[in-house]
Amino acid sequence: METQRNTNMAAITALESQFSHICEVGGAPGLSLSVLIRGEVAYSKHFGFRDVNTQQAPDGDTTYFIGSLTKAMVTALVGIFVEEGKLEWTTRIASILPELEGTWDGRGSQITVVDLLSHRSGIARLDGLWLQRAGNILLSQSVGVRTWTSQPPVRDFRTDYLYNNFGYELVGRAIVKLSGKGLGENLKEKLFEPLGMSRTSTSDIPDNTNAAKAYFALDDASPSEVPIPTISDKTLMGPAGSVRSCTNDLTKFYRNFIHAANDQFARKATSTPGSPFKQLLRILRPHNQLTMISLREQSYALGWGRAELPAPLGAFNYNKYLVPAMPLVGQGAPSRVAVYHGGSMQGATSAVYLLPETETAVIALQNSTGICDPCDWISQLVIHTLSEADARGIDFEALATTAAKSGTMLAAKIEAALEERRKKDTKPLELKAYTGRYWNDIKSFHIDITVHDDDGGLYMRFQSMESETYKLRHYHDDSWVWNAPHNETAKQGRFQTRPWASYEVGFDCGAERSGAKSLQWKYDAELEAPGIFVLEEGSR
């Protein structure tokens, strides 16, 4: 056993030059990587800087935002509540949150806890209305769910997969209501403290002098610092992505999780002595079908993706958008089930891959939104190597280089797509005709359109936040666009992967074109038609 452990350590250590190169080309100024094999830490290494300005290196206690890795923690908490008899997997969420009753033509009355945790509600995602620039959350907790319930169903119920952070927001609210305690307090009491995770929290850790800064990669892969995310258990989407943690803590979490999973599957039990994890047979079973990219299993459990190796991976990180096809990880090795997830917030990216049968975990945390996802490429490289596959079959450095090049071209592709659809030789009205405050139908989101005195240009501002101000450029007729080149978008701390249609804002000025009465914006690609924002009376 010790000989095999040493062999595995040597195999991973031999990959370090590739790790460094992938970080360099992908724009990851700092990255922490830990690997468990047979339930023990076999490798731990930290690359680059947690703070570029001060050149401080990360270590095992450096905290990063782990984004959607939070989801597996929330599902584990739900498992504890189910084991305690406080909740059922089939509980209708409207029975706890009555504001859901009757919404979406009755669908809201049927949606269960499992529907929300497995992304099968079929309701529009709405990310464009709550998440734009780094450091901002555009919707408050008080209006967030009401805003979501005003959105239409866009997929079939319980048959289609559509990733949706709001599902976890609702489950988190149910936990708070059932327990009378905050989400962070519940996670700390039932998971973090029992596992000895002293540097893991849903809010900023007081006096934390060892936290990674947040960066976006410019088109030359150099880092541009952006504001630290403000998401927490006190904001909207806390249950979907608010946890900050470190590799030292996460190795404790995933070690115990894998042990409990193997034990509960072997004994057909719902709990494991000495472990806080419960109900893992239900949590880890397939509940929804991921996009079909392989004949082998590609499913979504609860807070986890599942794939039968050999298979393409990376369903939750954005490398898949940047290469022609994801590699077949594990080709030539014995078939195994991989359980995995990715996470991102502006300026932070994460990935975890588990091979429960060999008690293997690969954890990668990165303090940037890169021009590709180095943490995911590196994690897949390690999994591929440890699966005893033919490592020569996949050139992960070449894949990262290709992905990074594609990542720098996303803004240009948006510009090209807009230009292709642009009508020529049209003129706008006098700019004042577009100004005013425009509201969505339930008055939870507003857009201010103003003319700036300094340059005479037309500007758009979300939710009265000065940092959410964007210059509009005339597109055609009464439509305007607000897309920007890669580096400008990166410095704003905005994701480059939003679709081209989300950058067009149209004004309805009527047949007489006497002045805009409403504004149209397709903030969600799944929507059949753009959202309509109506001019507030007297605001022009």
Q: Can you state the angle between helices 70-83 and 247-267, rounded to 10 degrees? A: 40
Residue 487 tokens read as 């580096």
Tokens 């060999």 — which residue? 358
Say if residue 253 is exposed, middle or buried (CB neighbours under 10 Å; 0-12, 13-18, 19+): buried
Number of neighbouring beta carbons within 10 Å of residue 251: 21
Cα–Cα distances (Å) from 41 to 48, 150, 200, 376, 399, in that order, read 21, 47, 19, 19, 28
- Residue 482 CA to residue 474 CA, distance in Å, equals 9
What angle is formed at CA 279 by the lines to CA 276 and CA 281, rounded to 5 degrees? 130
CB-based contact 199:248 (threshold 8 Å): yes
Q: Which helix (H) or strand (E) holds 8?
A: helix 2-13
Strands (E), 69-137: none
Give 442's DSSP letter.
Answer: T
**First-to-final CA distance of the chain:** 74
Which of 424, 337, 410 minimizes the C-alpha distance to 372? 410
Q: Which of 63, 46, 30 is nearest to 208 (CA)?
A: 63
336, β-bridge pairs: 309
Backbone angles phi, psi at 497, to 5 degrees: -95, 5
User: Three-state DSSP class for 135?
Assistant: coil
Give the helix ranges, DSSP H, for 133-269.
Answer: 141-149, 165-179, 183-187, 238-241, 247-267
| 336: CB partners within 8 A, 6+ apart | 308, 309, 330, 355, 357, 358, 387
| Residue 441 near residue 150 (C-beta atoms within 8 A) | yes
User: Residue-wise pLDDT tens for the chain (540 aa)?
Assistant: 667 777 788 889 999 999 999 999 999 999 999 999 999 999 999 999 999 999 999 999 999 999 999 999 999 999 999 999 999 999 999 999 999 999 999 999 999 999 999 999 999 999 999 999 999 999 999 999 999 999 999 999 999 999 999 999 999 999 999 999 999 999 999 999 999 999 999 999 999 999 999 999 999 999 999 999 999 999 999 999 999 999 999 999 999 999 999 999 999 999 999 999 999 999 999 999 998 777 889 999 999 999 999 999 999 999 999 999 999 999 888 899 999 999 999 999 999 999 999 999 999 999 999 999 999 999 999 999 998 776 568 999 999 999 999 999 999 999 999 999 999 999 999 999 999 999 999 999 999 999 999 999 999 999 999 999 999 999 999 999 999 999 999 999 999 999 999 999 999 999 888 899 999 999 999 999 999 999 999 999
H or E element that contains 512: none
CA–chain centroid gap for 55, Å, is 28
Hey, what are 237's tokens?
Answer: 């989407």
Q: Tokens in use for 380?
A: 């897949």
Helix (H) / strand (E) containing 405: helix 396-408
| Tokens read off for 152 | 């239409």
Angle ∠(234,364,45) on CA atoms, nearest 5: 125
Backbone angles phi, psi at 527, to 5 degrees: -70, 140
What does the alpha-carbon distance between residue 174 and residue 205 come to, in Å, rounded to a whole number?
25
- b/e map 182-191, b = 16+ CB within 10 Å: bbbebbbebb
DSSP annotation of 190: I
* Helix-helix angle 396-408:374-386, to 10 degrees: 160
CA angle 198/233/46 to nearest 5° reads 45
pTM: 0.97
Report residue 395 as tokens.
């050139």
Cα atoms found within 13 Å of the Cα of residue 60, Cβ hemisphere only:
13
> Cα(71)–Cα(202) distance, rounded to whole angstroms?
12
Using CB atoms within 10 A of its CB, is residue 55 exposed (0-12), middle (13-18) or buried (19+)? exposed
How much is the pLDDT for 391? 57
Q: What are phi and psi of 378, to 5 degrees?
A: -65, -40
Cross-strand partners of 534: 439, 518
